[in-house]
Structures are given as structure tokens and as C-alpha cells.
Chain A
């Protein structure tokens, strides 16, 4: 009965929206509101901001979860979060941070900046760009809805079978995990393809591959990784979903299933995934370091080569997450050597950054502080990575707090600090105002010291025999002091993030105007006004070398050369279908979570209908005529 009501309401709802039938006047009023404009936007800069908002929201959620974990572990035998609830918190912390925070925050910056850096008016597929965002958001929302209805997933972000199967996780939690990630994953794949085509096809004349800024390059490499890493996850999630919903036997031992297959599939996806969220941060740091050192990036070509090599090797090392599975010494050593090999291109990058600064004139803005701090943190995270590749040593520290320390060093030191560096760097470009530097420095020091205080002692916790993912530990095993320090560090990090929030609020209310080029930038985005006009470039620029804007400023006359005459500019029209489609996916996912096939399939039918509507749609966009902007641009 309940399903029937849901179906009827949903059908009416969908019908009403698709036909625009029930109240035209109301619809028209809605279409003028700002919320409708943001929902239907296909402007890459606005979608970027949506990514930042959603990613920031989930960052808050997952950060609170982290804080809860640290409060529970602050003292031995603490009783705040125990048993299954603790497992839910740690699972959601990891899953949210990896899938809903790290990548979307980077996607936000990519969306705003990459088209500007290559001199394009938009991304290749504005519609798909919007669809990618809304699918990600729908998936993230679905996943986090688990807190309210039925309990969150509790098998870790790696979600190993058989713990994740019905027998051992009977609630709907893992269903949320499977379906939420499936939906968000489709969105990510779409965005990845969009970035790839944008970078291949939409570069301005003269912007050859070896003139692209490093952030664009790393976006390109990360997108290729997305392209090949997410489909295995899709396949794996399907298997897990069928095992849970339809009683198939992929991982069920009783039916001949094999739990190691899930581990392989997960890490064939999982290892490239951590590079997907690392590599773009490398790009941000490269741009930030060279800008604030007032120097061209040292060894540009080898930087590009190292990035590509890291991406390629990223697919060859997944077994290093499985050294204790017992795959035999041959497999283990091969993957150990492949893992060590990654240290070489990573080392190339570190030294290239150092020598970019060498002989430069370094301005320690907040953005640069994050980049400089990153080098220290990342070298420490990197060396523990090599230590983990040493198989016999790995057997000792695998799945202990040593590993927790290692990956937080690289992920916070790399991805999160990279995002912060990028945020302070490009905020003026996005919003036309400068973030407050004093607060920014407070943010940096609190967060940075907090990070080291949190995670440095965790190396020792691991060596002292503390496994990861445990909700309590006993008194008298030398674990108390390090855990306490670690928890205090987490509080400092929280204070740092609060300083950032306060800074953003302050700046949005009355920020200092930035001008188009506040940092003496090097790439094309600094040649246009802040925030950029909706069409980005009145005339598509002609690029004459690496660091084109620097080139024009210091060796040319300080203006970009145009590659085309002034003329009407073609723009894509806003579209509400991506939002509807994500909503249909969301409803479908929710249906499947609760084994309600009717609702599940109804959602999918909704998706199919919208696909067809889209295919038949005549969307030629609109044109901005020269006189519309003549007065604005000088």
C-alpha cells in the first residue's frame, strides 16, 4: 500500500514537472528565482561553486565524524561510541571523505579553473557537467540519509565481503553504501569524460599539450584514471548489490563465491582512486609554487612525464593493499617493486618544486604556506609509503595506526592542503575578493600543527600494536599518551577549519576587491576579470608559449592576443533535466535500498523518460551579441 502511494505521488510529481502542467504562473515565477537558476545552471563556473558548496558540506559532516572518533579514542576504555555505532562512524568518515569530499572539492576547482586555463568559453558538455554534479550530490545525499533511516554502513570504506553481506550486516546500511556510491560514481565518470574532451578539444589556438598549466595536466591525468578505475568499482558494486538484494553468490561462500575477488576489484579501483584525488593537488601546488616564487616551473616536461607515469603505475600496485591476504611471495614482491617504483616520479616532483623555489622570490601568502607546508608533510607521508612497500615490514604495520598515519599524511597533506592552497589562490578569481590573509595564516598554522600533532604520534601507536578501526584500547600498553595527543591535534585542526569558515563569511560580507591579477599570475585565467564574465573570453586568445599571461606581461605588451574577431558568442541554455534525472536516480536508489522494486524501477523509468526527452530536445543555446558586452569589457 505504502509503495502504491509513493508510486502515485511520484508519477503525478514527475508528470507535473515534465509537462509543466499544474500552474504556469507559479512555474514562471520559480524560473526567475535564484534557486532555479542555480539548479538549472550549465555555467562551468557556477557548477564549480556548487561542487565547492556540496563538498564543503560533506567535509563538515565527515569532519565531525572524525572528531567523534578522536574523542572516543582520547582515553582508554572510553564508552562514548562503542561497537557497531563506532563502525558506522568510521565507515562514513572514510567513505564520505574519499568519495564526497576530496574529489568534489577538487572537481570544484577544476570546473572553475581548467576551462579558463586553456582559454575556453566552457567545458565540452555543459549539460553533462551539470548532470555529473547532481548525480554526485544525489548519491552523497542518499548515502548520508542512512544516518536517519535504518543505520549507516558499518563495514569500513573498503566494505569487505563477507562482513558486508546480509548475514553479517543485516540492516540497510550497506545498501545505502552500494547504491549511493553507484549513483555518485556515474556522476564522477561523466565528469571525468567531460574534462577529458574539454582538454583535448577545447584548447585555445597555440595551447599545445606541452604548454598547458600543470593543474590542467593533472586534471587530464586524473580524468584518465577516473575513466579506467571507476568502471571496476561499478561492476564490483553491482555484484555486492545483487548479493545483498537478490541473493546471488558472488561473495557468498555457501554458493561457491569468493571474497578475495571483492578485495581485488575494490583495490583495482581503490588505488587509482587515491591517485585521482592526489594528482590534481600536485597540479595546484605546481601552479601555486611557481606563481609565488615568480619563476617558471622547474623541469616542466619532466613534471608532466612524472604525472603521467604516476597515473600509469597507479594501476599496477593494487596488491600492496593485500600483502596479508596470502597471495604468495611472487605476487607480493612484484607489487612491492612496482610500488617502490612510484617513489621515483614522486621524488622528481618534490625536487622540481624545490628547484622552482630555488633562485626565486618567494611570497609566503596563505596559499604558498599551504604549498610549502605540503612539501614537508608529503615527504613524510611518501617515505612511510615506501616503508609500507617493504613486504615483511608491511606485514607488521598493515592495518594498524601506522597505516592510518601514512594515508592521512598524504591525503590531508596532499589533497586537503592542496585544496586549501587552491582555494586561497583562486578565490579572488571566483568571487572577485581576497580572502583575509591574517585569518588565512591562523587557519594554516592551526590546521598544519594540528595535523602533525594528530597523525605523527599515530605512527607509534601502530608500532606499539594498535590496530586500526578499533573503538577502544586497554590501559597500560603505552597507548594513552599518543592517543591523547592525537585527539588534541584533531581539536586544533577543527579550530583551523573554523578559522577558514569565519574567513569565508567575513570575505563574502565585505572582502577586499582583488582585481583581475592579484598574485602576478602566469596562466590565462589571470588575464580576464574577476569574477570572469559568463563567456570567459570575449575573444578566444592565441597562446604564444608556456605561462602565456606571464609571457604577455613581461615580454609582450601586457594584453592577450586574440585568435578570432569580435562576434556573437554562443552560449548553452540552462537546463533542468540534469536535476530531474539525479532526482529520479535518487528515488530509484532509495527504493532499492528498502527492497521496494516498484519504486526502484519507477525511478529508473523516470531516468529513461528523461533520457528520451533530452535526446529529442532542440537545444541550440543562445548568443550574446557584441553590443551586450561592449561597454563592460574595455
Chain B
């Protein structure tokens, strides 16, 4: 009897795990809690396939448990003749060939139709376009219709299809917002597209899902969905950003930025003649929720980022600005954290 114990234990253990991990997700990062029509359609297919497959698993499990319990060798069996050597059964074999085919047809039809629907180009009048450019460990976003650029946080209106036009600058990346819908690769030398839509305002976590180098794990981004009118406000604030220094310290920061950062980073509306494009754009930086996609945006974190970017995001292109004095760093932080 003792030999049966492990099997029960497994079941109990698996059940516990199941309950634990399916406990509801409160963050917008789960495939199981979609926030847009694309994610919902995909989840429904996931459920359909899970349902069909659960049926298969149950059929197999019933036969399996029966066989393993019923036909195990018992003491005294050794003396008996060996069991009958059955060659096979045409009927049974036809049965377990044809039933799976039927099940797969049930699964294949919605697969095909959904694949084609999701690939449809949205109506340009009722959608917006955003260019996404993947760089090693950060994301650049351009709004071609509004002449606005930003990075690592992309703002979209709710209830409207958004067509992301995907390009890679260096290596292959992959654009994934789990709670809005499935991903698409950004491939150097090619342009791909992905249509997503958010139903409710909120912040949705995004990830790079193709190994792209040392900080692949930290190549995160956020999708911020607004009500359409709030989105228009946001766009307006981006077209005319408030980049003037508010005080003397910030003015020093503005100058230090020009000396140290402008070759790679850009701040629009601050009177710089050059706009660096090889690192994330920092216009309206204080409105970002994250620094470099990984740290919460506050002054302490920004200071530690400036001093040791490699320690926080290994392999990124930003050098450590440890030659700056604490006072200078303060000034730079003051300037950046007042950009709106």
C-alpha cells in the first residue's frame, strides 16, 4: 500500500501548485488577464486548445490508471503462462487515428481564421501608427502622424487600434505586451507590424522576448493607455515640451547635459542644436515612470544610474559619469527631473 503514496502526493502537490500560481494577477503583465481585443481572442484560443487537450489527457489518464492498476504483476503470477500475445486491433487503431484528426480539425479552423483576422491591416482613419525601433536594451517610439518621439514608454489611446511598425537597429528583438496581445519580432533589415488595442486606461508592462545581449532581461518598456482626449493632451504636451530650466541649479544641469550627454541623448525644446539619436530620448523625463526601463523614476535612483549604469544594466552603451562631482550630479538630476 505504501508504494501508492507518492502518486497521491504528486497529485496533491500539483494541485497546490495549480491553486497557488493561478491566484489572480494584479499587475498588467499576464496573458490570462487580457486588457484588449487581441489578447482576448488569443486567450480564447488558448482556452479552446486547453479544453480539447484536457479531454485528450483525461482519456489517456483513465486508460493509463486502469492499465497500471489492473495489469500490474501480482505475487504468484510468475508461475502462470505469459499473457496472450495480441498483435493489434484494426478497429481500435482506426479509432485513435480518426478521433485526434477530428479534434485537430476543430482546433485548426479557428486557428486559421484568427490568424488571418489578426493580420488584417487596420483602417487608417480609425487607428494610429507608431514606429517602434529596437536598440540594444531600449525602445524608441515615433509618432509619424504627430512628429513626436519618445522612448521606453509608449502612450496610446484606448478603444483605438494601434499599428506598431517594428524595426530593429542592431540585433533581433521582440515586442511583447502580454496583457494586450501576442508578440512580433523586430528584425534588422526588415519591417514588421503588430496591431494591438487597449480597452481600458492603464499601464501595461512590455518586454523584449528575443535574446538580444547582456541586458536582454532588462529591456523592458511600458504601454500607457489614456482615454482618447487625455491622449490628445499628452500629444500636445509632447509637441511643445516644457524643457526650460526652472532654477539656477537646473540651468547648470542643462549646461552639463550639453557637455556630457547630448551626443547620444535628445531633449526637445531645450534649445540644443544637436539631438542625439543613439540613446533614449529624454524629453519630458520627469513624467516617465521608470529610468532606463528598470528603476522607479526618482532622484535617488537617477543619481545611482548616472554613477553606475553598467552595474544596473550590464552591457548597455552608457558610460559611468563618475567624473562628475556630487554637486554636478545633483544639478543634472534637478534639470532632468523638472522636464515636463
Residues of A with Cβ closer than 8 Å to B? 82-84, 86-87, 155-156, 160, 162-163, 167-168, 253, 257-260, 293-296, 298-302, 324-326, 328-329, 332-333, 336-337, 340-341, 343-344, 347-348, 350-352, 354-355, 357-364, 372, 375-376, 379-380, 383-384, 386-387, 389-400, 445, 449, 452-453, 456-457, 460, 462-465, 467-473, 476-478, 481-482, 485, 554
- Chain B positions within 8 Å of A, measured between CB atoms, are 6, 10, 13-14, 17, 20-23, 25-27, 29-32, 39, 41-43, 45-46, 48-50, 53, 56-57, 60-61, 63-64, 67-68, 71-73, 77, 80, 82-89, 92-93, 96-97, 100-101, 104, 107-108, 111-112, 114-116, 118-119, 136, 170-172, 174, 176, 178-179, 181-185, 187-190, 192-193, 205, 207-218, 314-315
Q: Other CB < 8 Å A-B pairs besides A354-B60, A445-B6, 13 of them?
A: A167-B170, A259-B187, A294-B82, A343-B100, A354-B67, A359-B83, A387-B50, A393-B45, A457-B17, A463-B30, A465-B178, A467-B176, A482-B20
Q: How long is the Cα–Cα vector from A449 to B185 in the complex, in angstroms?
A: 36
The answer on a CB contact under 8 Å between B22 and A460 is yes
Q: Which residues of A contact B85 (CB under 8 A)?
A: 295-296
Are A473 and B111 in touch, CB under 8 angstroms? no
User: Given A163-B213, A295-B83, A465-B30, are A396 and B111 also a contact pair (CB < 8 Å)?
Assistant: no
Closest to B23 in A: A478
Tell me the smallest distance from the CB of B197 to a CB of chain A, in Å: 15
CB distance from B93 to the nearest CB of A (A): 5
Top 8 closest A-B pairs, CB basis?
A395-B182, A83-B314, A470-B217, A326-B192, A383-B53, A299-B88, A465-B29, A83-B214
B22: chain A residues at CB < 8 Å are 460
Which of B92, B115, B185 is the one whose CB lies under 8 Å from A355?
Answer: B92
Given contacts A344-B100, A380-B57, A383-B53, contact A392 B17 (CB under 8 A): no
What CA separation (Å) do A333 and B192 show in the bound complex? 18
- Checking B17, B182, B193 against A394 with a beta-carbon cut-off of 8 angstroms, the contacting residue is B182
Given the complex of chains A and B, what is the CA–CA distance between A394 and B42 in angstroms?
A: 9
Q: List 21 A-B contacts (CB under 8 A).
A: A83-B314, A86-B217, A260-B190, A299-B88, A326-B185, A343-B104, A344-B104, A359-B83, A360-B71, A383-B56, A395-B182, A395-B183, A398-B183, A449-B6, A456-B17, A464-B21, A464-B25, A464-B178, A465-B207, A470-B216, A478-B30
Is the Cβ of B210 less than 8 Å from the Cβ of A452? no
Does the CB pair B41–A392 fall under 8 Å? yes
Interface centre among B60, B118, B315 (most CB of A within 10 A): B60
How far apart are B41's CB and chain A's nearest CB, in angstroms?
A: 6
Given that A300-B87, A354-B63 are contacting pairs, would A392 and B118 also be in contact in the complex, using a CB cutoff of 8 Å? Answer: yes
Give the complex CA separation of A285 and B110 in angstroms. 35
What are the residues of chain B within 8 A of A359 when measuring CB–CB? Answer: 71, 83-84, 86
Are the CB atoms of A387 and B49 closer together than 8 Å?
A: yes
Bound Cα distance from A387 to B103, whole angstroms? 12
A117–B5 CA distance with the chains assembled, in angstroms: 38
- Given contacts A341-B104, A354-B63, A465-B29, whether A393 and B46 have CB atoms under 8 Å apart is yes
Contact B174 A324 (CB under 8 A): yes
Across the interface, name the chain A residue whose C-beta is closest to B77.
Answer: A361
- CA distance in complex: A372, B39 (Å): 38
- Assess whether B188 is in contact with A253, with CB atoms less than 8 Å apart: yes
Q: Residue on A with the closest CB to B74?
A: A361
Structural contact, B72 and A364, CB atoms closer than 8 A:
yes
Contact check, A399 vs B210: say whether CB atoms are below 8 A apart.
Answer: yes
Given contacts A168-B171, A337-B108, contact A469 B211 (CB under 8 A): yes
| Chain A interface, DSSP helix/strand/loop, else mixed | helix
Nearest CB in chain B: distance from A32 CB, A: 47
A453 vs B6: C-alpha distance when bound (angstroms): 13
Chain B residues, CB < 8 A from A465: 29-31, 178-179, 205, 207
Give the residue among B39, B107, B208, B211 with the most A Cβ atoms within 10 A. Answer: B211
B185 touching A83, Cβ below 8 Å: no
B17 CB → nearest A CB, Å: 6
Q: Is the CB of B86 within 8 A of A294?
A: no
CA distance A168 to B214 in the complex (A): 10
> Could you say which residues of chain A place their CB within 8 Å of the CB of B190?
260, 326
Q: In the complex, are the beta carbons of B42 and A393 less than 8 A apart?
A: yes
Given contacts A465-B29, A478-B25, contact A361 B192 (CB under 8 A): no
Query: Which of A155, A253, A258 is within 8 Å of B211, CB to CB?
Result: A155
Asked whether B189 lies within 8 Å of A253 as measured between CB atoms, the reply is yes
User: Do B176 and A362 touch (CB < 8 A)?
Assistant: no
- How many Å from the CB of B60 to the closest CB on chain A? 5
Complex CA gap A344/B85 in Å reads: 25
With A355-B92, A380-B57 as known contacts, state yes or no: A295 contacts B209, CB within 8 Å.
no
Q: Do B111 and A333 touch (CB < 8 A)? A: yes
User: CB-CB < 8 A to B67: which residues of A?
Assistant: 354, 357-358, 362
Distance in Å: Cβ of A256 to nearest Cβ of chain B: 9
Q: Is the CB of B185 within 8 A of A324?
A: yes
Instruction: Tell me if B84 and A340 are in contact (CB < 8 A).
Output: no
What are the residues of chain A within 8 A of B83 when measuring CB–CB?
293-295, 359-361
Q: Chain A contacts of B93 at CB under 8 A? A: 299, 302, 348, 351-352
Q: Is the CB of B217 within 8 A of A396?
A: no
Our pick among B21, B29, B192 for the contact of A481 (Cβ within 8 Å) is B21
Could you tell me if A375 and B64 are in contact, using CB atoms closer than 8 angstroms?
A: yes
The answer on a CB contact under 8 Å between A476 and B111 is: no
The answer to whether residues A396 and B86 also contact, given A390-B111, A460-B21, A470-B216 and a CB cut-off of 8 A, is no
- A391 proximity list for chain B (CB < 8 A): 111, 114-115
Name the B residues within 8 Å of A386 (CB-CB): 49, 53, 104, 107
- Given contacts A87-B213, A340-B107, A554-B82, A396 and B46 within 8 Å (CB-CB): yes
Q: Is the Cβ of A344 less than 8 Å from the Cβ of B97?
A: yes
With contact pairs A387-B46, A456-B14 given, residues A478 and B171 touching in the complex (Cβ less than 8 Å): no
Q: Is the CB of B31 within 8 A of A464?
A: yes
What's the minimum C-beta distance from A462 to chain B, rounded to whole angstroms?
Answer: 8
Give the shortest distance, in Å, between B208 (CB) and chain A (any CB).
Answer: 7
- Residue of A156, A162, A333 near B115 (CB, 8 A) is A333
User: Most chain-B Cβ atoms within 10 A of its Cβ — which of A324, A392, A468?
Assistant: A392
